[in-house]
Amino acid sequence: MDQQQQKSAAHVSKLFVGSAVDIKDEIEEKFERSFVNLQLQIVGLSDKEMHDILSQIVCKDKQHEEISIGFLYVMLTDPAMAPKTYRDVTLVSRDGMNVIVANLTLLVAEKYNKLTEIARRQLIWVLREFVKHQVLSVENVIWNCLRQAGGGDASHRNLFLIESLLDIFTEFRTWLENNPFLIQSAVYSYVRLIEDHANPALLPLRQKEVKFTISLIRERFHDIIPLGRDFVRLLQNVARIPEFEQLWRDILYNPKSLHPTFNGIWHLLQIRTSRRFLQCRLLPEMERKISFLASSVKFGNQKRYQDWFQDKYFSTPESHSLRSDLIRFIINVIHPTNDMLCSDIIPRWAIIGWLISSCTNPIASANAKLSLFYDWLFFDPSKDNIMNIEPGILVMYHSIRNHPFVSSTLLDFLCRITKHFYVKHEDRIRMGVFNSLKLILEKQVIPNIQPLFESSKLDRELRNLIRENFKEFLSPSNTQAPSYPSVHSILVHTVKKEIDHRTLQNENVDHQGTGLSPSHNSGTVLSFIDEGNKTALIPTDQEIESVFSDETAKNFGKIYKIDENTDDDDDLPLSKVRLKEKPKVELAEAIAESFESFVSRRNSFTWEAFLNDFRTLPASAFEEFQLNYVITNTILILRETLPQHNLFSESKTEEKLLAKSISYPLYGLFRFLYENDEKSKKPFQTLLSMLCQSLPEIGYLLLYFMKVYCKLQTRKNAQQSYQFKTTIYRQICDAVDEKVGNCLVRDLDLLEKESTTIYLWLLPDIYREFKSIATNNTDLLRITLRCVDAKNVRDIIYSVAQGKLTIFKEDGLIDCIRESLEFETYEQFCLWQIVQAHDVPLKSIQDLLPELEPGSHPEALSHFLLWLKNEEPTNEIIRLILSRETKSRGDPFVTSALRY
């Protein structure tokens, strides 16, 4: 060990909790070493000497990182020195503090539990400063801190973090609202945490949480909609709180009051929640432990790991609520490969069975069962993953022999939740459960469902209940195979029989296990989503829990194959079975042949031929289920035929590549709209509306199509100029009932994230064709500035100089500049160069001069000063300069301008 390492080893850490015998890992060593090295560099130096020597040292990447981490160490461990250190680091840092943010993110994600009490409090101080000064990527640190704010934990340490983050979000609300993903994560997390804060001692905190989440949900509901069905599940658990009760009333009865495009509760229930939100409700350490259990522990050896997990995370009364979080994570995030399915690793269903059966809290137990079957209720084989429904059937199937009470409880739950989760849409819920069971049998997740549904170990009344709910999967005799009815016959002719509700008895399979809310007087089972009472109900505290042994049967049936190519951020559907065995539906003669041709051939020609027939048909030509059949299969095919990668042409000039890039069926729709201007009939408008809702990329793909199509047509006929038909884009906007400006910003934001190159290629056309909307549009400007580099700025300036691009106009420019003052430094420097390229007169923005502050707006002041150097002084300019508020040490901007 060299001398420097010895000093580091001898140094007692002020950042991490640990004893002298603890072995420091790489992260801890890195922070301690950086702090020691920083002290060696600056000891005994004045501030000026320190800045001078550090400015020279940080020119080297490695030393820049080490010095930055050293400063971060000081800020986290020395409250008295933290403000001065923050000023020092802003002077020395040459990357906008990217290194500090990256290492702080790593520290929070990996070492938060080992931070000292002082370091955890200073972490909040640092975050507050970063947010106040809008340091780039600070939202990554905040998101990781949000993950450390664990559910099911009412300890002082956890409550401090929860309340501190809440204070930051409240104080810097404007900053938060510029981060849609952070808005979604914060709302999802705090709605979940509110459930744990029912203790009267936590009432002040709970009220703050409720006020924050309700205001954010109501004011930013368009950002909340993507949270989807699991957000609804969380809302059910807080529905008795008055503010959330009112929110439920609006969701159920007045959805348009929340957002013009929101169509009600089913709108949310159809959206699968991203796995990132499910992940954010598990502590990083907990996620690592449960992932290890599901990937490395052999079946039969899991008991000691489960005992450790139980003692670590389930030791307090409020920790029961964690079980639902874990089950949703295991089902939606942990998807084992085929090799793992064939191995002796503990399967997911066994872990979930343990989580449910070891729960002693009746409400938490019912919620855990709902978490297990939640995906069944809305399952669509065309877009959902079979791995999300596999654990539910397996835990019942493998328990029926040795632990029939487990299977009985879950089967009873499934029967009752199918009918009573949302009575208004019982047919849709039933369809989801039917789709789940059908695909389970088709893929042979289990070889046969009769041993479960017709087991002699189930009591007679439960078997009757199963027969009433799932008769399609039961044979009249034990030898006859189950027959599957048409999907649409289920939709149209849903069996609506009343269930004979049994009286709750101690020896019966528990009814509260259904997760529903029985009346104490009549035994009537109420809905989770009860529109009669205008609220969402949660279960009462009646539950009989069963025992689930760790030594479950090891021979768990036939292994089935799944498509392992699931590298999407969420889940990829099993595309190979999407239209397999589609039900035969009779269609009108006018479209039957062309639609069948499109379904079988799946190309643009057959698609456009079908559209030509379909467009003129009135609503009277269809039954509702026929129209649904056409639209569902159409969306399926259009989605499947789009390329997964390389959506756009690699060349912007080669005709063959450009033509190929718009040859897919979806572009056939655009071509059809381009060539047919007459007004469409209602069924076609319905198709267009559903397409827009199901394919979020449709907007920017249309913009790309119009660019390429016009380019190709102009080359074919050089004497005729082809222009964008913005009326088509307006049709798309009308289909989703949104303003063109909002759609344009949203679509271009998605396009830039998909391909910056194509976004910049389209930019001149966007500003030309949507001139009134795009010019001086701050939102569109921000999208552009966040993605450009020096070459892109150069090309934009060239286009402006040549008259091909006009981003700004004199009228209203001052408001655009005023809003841009909150942009990042680099973005503002690019902005001012583009403004200058437009040759706008100074008088159009000179009224901004008195508003600019030296500490907050250095970029704008710098460019104003350079601009003023080329202007002749006028009385108005002098008046505005002298109107600036003077600080105690004077205003260098005024002095510089007047001296020049």
The β-bridge partners of 530 are 535
| H or E segment to which residue 535 belongs | strand 535-536
Give residue for tokens 């959805």: 255
C-alpha dist (Å) from residue 771 to 74, 410, 767, 808, 809? 51, 59, 5, 10, 10
Please count the other Cβ atoms lying within 10 Å of the Cβ belonging to residue 116. 16
The answer to whether 403 and 454 have CB atoms below 8 angstroms apart is: no
The answer to whether 302 and 550 have CB atoms below 8 angstroms apart is: yes
Rounded (10°) CA dihedral 553, 556, 557, 559: -160
pTM above 0.95, yes or no: no
Classify 345 as helix, strand or coil.
Answer: strand
- Cβ density class 589-628: b for 16+ within 10 Å, e for less: eebeebbebbbeebebebbbbbbebbbebeeebbeebbbb
The answer to whether 291 and 334 have CB atoms below 8 angstroms apart is: yes
Residues 6+ apart with CB under 8 A from 55: 91, 92
Give the model's pLDDT for residue 59: 66
C-alpha dist (Å) from residue 486 to 434, 483, 578, 629, 876? 11, 10, 15, 12, 79
The answer to whether 499 and 465 have CB atoms below 8 angstroms apart is: yes
Give the model's pLDDT for residue 658: 87
Give the model's pLDDT for residue 194: 93
Give the model's pLDDT for residue 869: 76
| Angle (nearest 5°) at CA 205 between 203 and 206 | 60
Tokens of 584: 């035969």
Query: What 8-state DSSP symbol labels residue 14?
Result: S
pLDDT beneath 70: ranges in the chain: 1-12, 19-22, 58-62, 475-586, 644-645, 677-681, 718-722, 886-890, 900
Give the model's pLDDT for residue 520: 28
Tokens of 351: 């872990």
The answer to whether 661 and 714 have CB atoms below 8 angstroms apart is: no
| Cα 647 to Cα 309: distance, rounded to the nearest angstrom | 45
Give the model's pLDDT for residue 522: 26
